């Protein structure tokens, strides 16, 4: 397992945290490449649930180096709180966690802009200032983690940004922002710098040195490929490159150094926030999946929209990520459902459509074309052996591999660390 990128193949919440946690056993370094604390990665260890937002889930395995890469956006207060929470669970992070100098800082004014803006856009964001922080990055006015090490410059640029943003909020949104005192923000961020200073590093050097030394490196994506700023259901997307390519830009690693790309596919589909979702189940079956799958946002607690597996969206995901293997998660949530549907194409204005449309308005208007697969009545929770799965569950897994043309390496059969089937020993 030399270098592997782990990507959510759908709209996030596929259960990447557990897959990363499992693979970390064999890894030396785990590096997160994009997103911010909009993500929520849940890991269940010995029945206890841990939710991480920014720190890679590899932190739960002793001796592994965890990196928050330059492609991420970081709210320093939230990161400190997360680190404190990890330490409070008896996990030693010292010398095991690095934060890239190139990661952009989420500032209090990003939250203010997002609140003002979201009313008009209805994206259903997590409200954490993620989008506006990436806007500043692209407009070259962002403040980065490395800037915390140069207080005078930091203060000056903060003041410039605040002047601009206060004027914008007033003129465009008619909002007089509160709590945006330059001195208070500056002092608060400098206090954070004092705490986080020990973690700040040139992480691109560290990651590349690890790869060159032949170490096993995992690249952890957040959200999912269908929320990718370029390849997702724009504008209903997050503001970063959640798909596999983001690992290269977000960590400063050349594409030639990536060996494998593992797509994490939930056995059904969920989406949180606004945007098109052709296979959404709006009735009782959707509710059943939500309740059984615990489909509530790990970050915001919002109920997730639930639906059938969508091979049109997944084929697009396979293409833009170049998956070399799949991990299927939450298979056990489908236990006891008599008939399972899978979407193989869409119908749009009477025509059959087999490719994922680029326009959200088209995706909003398509009708899913389903095939029905026989379900299984037996419980699969906690199974560790493929042959122990009911025949229909095995057929379901094979259908996924065949429809996507990608081998399935892992199947998750429950929240706990051990509830996992390894199919071909690739990651054993
Ligand atoms: P933002 O990332 O907060 O800007 O939100 C943009 C969209 O991405 C919204 O629909 C969010 O619900 C969604 N989103 C952001 N992070 C996650 C995640 O970790 N899982 C699932 N959806 C997410």
pLDDT, tens digit (0-9, with 9 covering 90-100), for 129-188 = 999 999 999 999 999 999 999 999 999 999 999 999 999 999 998 888 787 899 999 999
User: Ligand 1: distance of its center to the CA of 351 in Å?
Assistant: 31
110 is catalytic: no
Residues of the chain with CATH 3.90.170.10: 3-91+202-422
For residue 259, pLDDT beyond 80: yes
Confidence of residue 428 (pLDDT cuts 50, 70, 90): very low
Q: How far is CA 106 from CA 74, 128, 169, 301, 413, in A?
A: 5, 8, 17, 21, 36
Task: Measure the CA–CA gap between 265 and 7, rounded to whole angstroms.
Answer: 9
Burial (CB < 10 A; 0-12, 13-18, 19+), residue 349, is exposed
Tokens of 209: 């040195």
13 is catalytic: yes
133 lines ligand 1 (CB under 6 A): no
Catalytic position from the list 37, 41, 53, 316: 41
Q: Is 112 helix (H, G, I), strand (E, B) or coil?
A: helix
Classify 273 in phi/psi space as left (phi over 0), alpha (psi -120 to 50) or beta.
left
Yes or no: say if 114 and 139 are a contact pair by the CB < 8 Å rule.
no
CATH class of 104-197: mainly alpha
User: Which helix (DSSP H) or strand (DSSP E) does residue 43 occupy?
Assistant: strand 41-45
- What count of other Cβ atoms lies within 10 Å of the Cβ of residue 48? 9
Calculate what percentage of the chain has a pLDDT beyond 90: 86
Q: Is 296 helix (H, G, I), strand (E, B) or coil?
A: strand
Average the pLDDT over 374-402 and give the result: 97
Q: Which atom of ligand 1 is nearest to the CA of 300?
A: 12
Yes or no: say if 237 and 228 are a contact pair by the CB < 8 Å rule.
yes
Mean pLDDT check: name the lowest of 127-141, 163-177, 218-232, 352-366: 163-177
Q: How far is CA 341 from CA 186, 267, 353, in A?
A: 54, 11, 18
Task: Measure the CA–CA gap between 165 and 136, rounded to whole angstroms.
Answer: 11
Yes or no: say if 96 and 90 are a contact pair by the CB < 8 Å rule.
no
Average the pLDDT over 347-358 and give the result: 97
For β-strands 104-105 and 73-74, DSSP reports them as parallel
Site to probe by mutation for ligand 1, drawn from 17, 220, 227 as the one with most ligand atoms within 8 Å of Cβ, is: 227
Query: What is 3-91+202-422's CATH number?
Result: 3.90.170.10
Yes or no: say if 295 and 267 are a contact pair by the CB < 8 Å rule.
no
Task: Measure the CA–CA gap between 379 and 382, rounded to whole angstroms.
Answer: 9
Residues of the chain with CATH 1.10.300.10: 104-197
């Amino acid at each position: 397992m030399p270098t592997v990128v782990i990507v959510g193949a759908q709209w996030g919440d596929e259960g990447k945290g557990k897959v990363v946690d499992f693979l970390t056993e064999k890894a030396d370094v785990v590096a997160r490449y994009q997103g911010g604390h909009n993500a929520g990665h849940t890991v269940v260890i010995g029945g206890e649930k841990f939710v991480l937002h920014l720190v890679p889930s590899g932190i739960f395995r002793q001796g592994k180096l965890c990196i928050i890469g330059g492609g991420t956006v970081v709210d320093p207060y939230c990161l400190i709180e997360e680190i404190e929470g990890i330490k409070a669970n008896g996990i030693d992070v010292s010398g095991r966690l690095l934060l890239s100098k190139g990661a952009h800082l989420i500032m209090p004014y990003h939250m203010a802009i997002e609140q003002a803006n979201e009313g008009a856009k209805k994206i259903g964001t997590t409200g954490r200032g993620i989008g506006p922080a990436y806007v500043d990055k692209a407009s070259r006015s962002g403040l980065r983690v490395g800037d915390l090490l140069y207080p005078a410059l930091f203060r000056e640029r903060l003041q410039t940004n605040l002047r601009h943003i206060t004027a914008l909020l007033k003129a465009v949104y008619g909002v007089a922002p509160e709590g945006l005192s330059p001195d208070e923000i500056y002092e608060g961020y400098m206090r954070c710098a004092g705490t986080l200073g020990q973690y700040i590093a040139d992480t691109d050097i560290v990651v590349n040195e690890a790869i060159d030394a032949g170490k096993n490196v995992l690249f952890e994506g957040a959200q999912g490929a269908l929320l990718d700023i370029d390849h997702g259901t724009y504008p209903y997307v997050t503001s970063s490159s959640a798909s596999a390519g983001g690992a290269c830009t977000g960590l400063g690693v050349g594409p030639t150094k990536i060996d494998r790309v593992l797509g994490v596919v939930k056995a059904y589909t969920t989406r949180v926030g606004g945007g098109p979702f052709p296979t959404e189940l709006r009735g009782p079956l959707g509710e059943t999946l939500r309740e059984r799958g615990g489909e509530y946002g790990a970050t915001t607690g919002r109920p997730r929209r639930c639906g059938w597996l969508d091979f049109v969206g997944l084929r697009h995901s396979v293409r833009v990520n170049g998956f070399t293997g799949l991990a299927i998660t939450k298979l056990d949530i489908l236990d006891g459902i008599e008939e399972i549907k899978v979407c193989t194409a869409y119908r749009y204005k009477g025509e059959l459509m087999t490719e994922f449309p680029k326009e959200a308005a088209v995706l909003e208007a398509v009708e899913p074309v389903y095939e029905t697969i026989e379900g299984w009545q037996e419980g699969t929770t906690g199974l560790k052996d493929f042959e122990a799965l009911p025949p229909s569950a095995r057929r379901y897994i094979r259908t996924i591999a065949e429809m996507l043309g990608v081998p399935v390496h892992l199947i998750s059969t429950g929240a706990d660390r051990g509830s996992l089937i390894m199919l071909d020993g690739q990651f054993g």
